[in-house]
Amino acid sequence: MAEQGSALLYQKKTMMESEDWWAVWLGGFVFLLGLGPIFHFDLLGWVVKTPVWIDFAKCAAPASAAYKGMSGVTSSLLTFFFLLVITSVGIIGMGGNLKKYIVGFTIIYWMVFFCMVLGNNAYIAASPDKTAAFKIPWSLGLGEMGLIIAMVLGLIIGNFILPLAKFLEEAAKPEWFIKTGIVILGAAIGIKTVEAAGLAGTVIVRGICAVVEAYLIYWPVVYFISRKWFKFTPEWAAPLASGISICGVSAAIATGGAIRARPVIPVILSAVIIVFVAVELLLLPPLATHLLYDEPMVAGAWMGLAVKSDGGAVASGQLVDTLILNKAASVLGVKWEKGWMLMAATTTKVFIDIFIGVWAFILAVIWTVCGLDTRRPATEGEACAPVSASEIWHRFPKFVIGFAATLLILLVIGLIYPGAVKGAKEGADQANLLRTLFFALCFFSIGMVTNVRKLWAEGMGRIVWVYAIALFGFILWVGLFISWLFYHGITPPLVK
C-alpha cells in the first residue's frame, strides 16, 4: 500500500500542480511588489519586522517609515493575511485541502511568529556591542534564534504531540516554503552583486566548483560504502548516494526515478535525510561560528556543501551569517555587511541543484549500459531506459529558475540604472522580511515532519549508519577543506 501511494512521486505534474512552479510564482509576485520603491510606490512597507526588543510593546513594527502610524499588531495581521491568501491560492492550484490548510497554516504561522519574536528578545539576540543600548548587562548574542526555537517546537509536536502534528500536516510544507523564500532571496543577492560585483563574481565561480565536489567526490564514495560495506543493492545505493552527497530529498527522488527504483525507496531515504538535516541545523552553525568566525565566507560555503537539503543549507547559511557577524564584531571588532555568508551557502547549493536533472540522465544511461536493472525481478513498465530531454526538464528544480530570474533582473536594473539601486535595495529588504518568515515556516515544518520514533520503527538502522559514517566521516571535513581552499582570506565588505 505504501509503495502504491509513493508511486505518485513519479507522476508528472502540470505547472498548476507543481510545488516548484508555485514557489516561482509566489516568490516572483513578492519580488514584483518589492520593485515598487524604484517607481516611488511603497507596496510592501506594511510588512511586519521583528526587531531586537527589550520592551515587548516594540517587538513588532511595519517595515517602512512611511507606515510609522501603523501599529505592530496591525502590521502583523496584514502580513499574516497576505501570506495566507497567496499560499492558499497555491494550495488550490496544487489540489490541496484548502479548509485544512487554512486552519493549519493559521496555527503554524502564529506559533512561528511568536517563536521569531521570542528569539529576538535582547537577552537572546542582541549583539555584544548593542547591550548598552538596551541597558542590559549581558546577551547570548544568538541572532536568528527564533528559527531554532521554531524547529525545536516542531520537533516536539512531531514526536510527542502526534494528534496535533496530524492535524497540521496539510500546512507543513518545508520544501515549498523554503523554495519560495529562495526565489525572493535572489533579489537581495542581486542587489549585493551590484554593490560588490567583484566579490559576487568570486562567489559564483566557487559555487560552480562545488558541483565538481558534490558529484565527482562525494557521490562515488557514498555509493562505494553503501555497496561494499553495507551490501546495499544498486537500487538502494544510488538514491542513497544522491540523497547524502547532493541535495537530500530532491536528489534521492530524482535518482530513484532515473534508475526506475521502487518508489518506496526514496520515500524511506527521505525520512532519514530529514532527520539528519535537523541534526545538522542544530550542530553545524555553532561549530562553524566557533571555528571560522574569522573566515566568514568559508563558513557560508561549508554550510552549502555540508547540509543536504535546500531548506537546511540555506537556513544554516542564515544562522551562520548572523552568528559570525555578532562574534566578529565582539571578538575582532570588525563589522561586515550581512547576507554574504548566506549568499555563499545559497549559491553553492543552487549550483549543485542545477545539475540534478543532468546527473539523473547520466545515471539512467549508466544503468542501461551496465545492465543494472537486473537488481530485482522485472515487472511490466519498469525497464531501465535513458531519460529523455523532456524528462530532464521535468526533474529540473524550477525554483532555481525563479532564484536566477530575480537575481538577474535586479542585477541588470542596478547596472543599467544606478539611480534605481537605492529604491531597489529598499524594496528587496522589505521582500526579504517575507523571505525570513518563509524560512521560519520551513524550520518549523522540518521539525514537525521529523518523526524519529517512526524512523527507527521501520528498521532503517543500516541507512542511518551509512549516512552517519559518510556525513561525519568525510563529507563534513572534505567540504570544509574545499570551502577553505576556495574562500580562505575572502571576507564580506565592511559596513559603510
Q: Is the pLDDT of residue 369 over 80?
A: no
User: Up-side HSE of residue 247: CA atoms within 13 Å toward CB?
Assistant: 27
pLDDT of res. 146: 86
Are residues 50 and 60 in contact, defined by beta-carbon separation less than 8 angstroms? yes
User: Angle CA(116)–CA(335)–CA(495) in degrees, nearest 5?
Assistant: 95
With pLDDT > 90 as the criterion, what percentage of the chain qualifies?
A: 32
**189 or 25, which is more confident:** 25
Q: Is the pLDDT of residue 461 over 80?
A: no
Residue 494 lies in a domain: no
Q: Is the pLDDT of residue 373 over 60?
A: no
> Which structural domain, as residue segments, surrounds residue 178?
2-487
Give the pLDDT confidence of 198-232 residue by residue, as tens digits.
556 666 676 677 667 667 788 888 889 888 888 88
Of 28-32, 240-244, 376-380, 477-481, minimum mean pLDDT range: 376-380
Buried b / exposed e over 112-142, threshold 16 CB at 10 Å, is bbbbbbbbbbbbbbbbeebbeeeeeeebebb
Give the pLDDT confidence of 336-368 residue by residue, as tens digits.
988 889 888 887 777 776 677 667 777 777 776
pLDDT of res. 379: 40
Q: Work out the pLDDT band at 9, boundaries 50, 70, 90.
A: very low
Are residues 237 and 361 in contact, defined by beta-carbon separation less than 8 angstroms? no
Residue 146 lies in a domain: yes
Q: Is the pLDDT of residue 374 over 60?
A: no
**2 or 171, which is more confident:** 171
pLDDT of res. 199: 58
Residue that the C-alpha cell 565536489 belongs to = 213
Residue 496 lies in a domain: no
Residue 493 lies in a domain: no
Exposed/middle/buried for residue 342 (C-beta within 10 Å: 0-12, 13-18, 19+): buried
Cα–Cα dist 234/236, whole Å: 5
Cα–Cα dist 296/128, whole Å: 18
Q: Is the pLDDT of residue 12 over 70?
A: no
3-state secondary structure 94-142: HCCCHHHHHHHHHHHHHHHHHHHHHHCEHHHHCCHHHCCCCCCCCCCCC
Secondary structure (3-state) at 17: coil
Are residues 492 and 299 in contact, defined by beta-carbon separation less than 8 angstroms? no
pLDDT of res. 203: 66
Residues 6+ apart with CB under 8 A from 323: 141, 142, 143, 144, 285, 286, 288, 289
Which ranges constitute the DSSP H helices of 144-196? 145-160, 162-168, 174-195
pLDDT of res. 295: 92
Cα–Cα dist 156/162, whole Å: 9
Residue 411 lies in a domain: yes
Q: Work out the pLDDT band at 381, boundaries 50, 70, 90.
A: very low
Over the chain, what is the mean pLDDT? 82
Give the pLDDT confidence of 270-281 residue by residue, as tens digits.
767 777 887 888
Q: What is the CA radius of gyration of the chain?
A: 22
pLDDT of res. 394: 67
pLDDT of res. 280: 85
Q: Work out the pLDDT band at 122, boundaries 50, 70, 90.
A: very high
**408 or 263, which is more confident:** 408
Secondary structure (3-state) at 454: helix
Q: Which helix (H) or strand (E) holds 423?
A: helix 421-449
In the predicted model, what is the mean pLDDT of residues 249-257? Answer: 72
Cα→Cα distances 243→181, 251, 368, Å: 22, 5, 21
Are residues 288 and 324 in contact, defined by beta-carbon separation less than 8 angstroms? yes
Greatest mean pLDDT among 249-253, 367-371, 480-484 lies in 480-484
Q: Is the pLDDT of residue 1 over 50?
A: no
Residue 495 lies in a domain: no
Q: Work out the pLDDT band at 19, boundaries 50, 70, 90.
A: confident
**248 or 191, which is more confident:** 191
Q: Which three cell numbers stand for residue 126?
A: 542582541
Cα–Cα dist 383/259, whole Å: 9
Q: Work out the pLDDT band at 20, boundaries 50, 70, 90.
A: confident
Are residues 201 and 343 in contact, defined by beta-carbon separation less than 8 angstroms? no
Cα–Cα dist 182/200, whole Å: 17
Residue 492 lies in a domain: no
Which ranges constitute the DSSP H helices of 196-339? 197-213, 219-224, 234-242, 249-258, 264-292, 296-306, 310-327
Of 24-33, 48-57, 249-258, 417-426, minimum mean pLDDT range: 249-258
Give the pLDDT confidence of 408-456 residue by residue, as tens digits.
898 888 888 888 888 998 999 999 999 999 989 988 988 888 766 665 5
Q: Which three cell numbers stand for residue 456?
A: 527507527
Residue 420 lies in a domain: yes
pLDDT of res. 377: 39
In the predicted model, what is the mean pLDDT of residues 16-31? Answer: 91
Exposed/middle/buried for residue 481 (C-beta within 10 Å: 0-12, 13-18, 19+): middle
In the predicted model, what is the mean pLDDT of residues 182-209? Answer: 72
Cα–Cα dist 444/114, whole Å: 12
pLDDT of res. 75: 97
pLDDT of res. 10: 43
* 142 Ramachandran zone, left/alpha/beta (phi>0; psi -120 to 50): beta
Q: Which three cell numbers stand for residue 390?
A: 523532456
Domains of the chain: total: 1
Q: Which three cell numbers stand for residue 482?
A: 574545499
Cα–Cα dist 248/235, whole Å: 17
Cα→Cα distances 264→3, 242, 317, Å: 5, 16, 31
Q: Which three cell numbers stand for residue 94?
A: 496544487
Q: Is the pLDDT of residue 33 over 80?
A: yes
Are residues 250 and 353 in contact, defined by beta-carbon separation less than 8 angstroms? yes
Give the pLDDT confidence of 49-104 residue by residue, as tens digits.
999 999 999 999 999 988 988 999 999 999 999 999 999 999 999 999 999 999 99
The pTM for the full model equals: 0.71
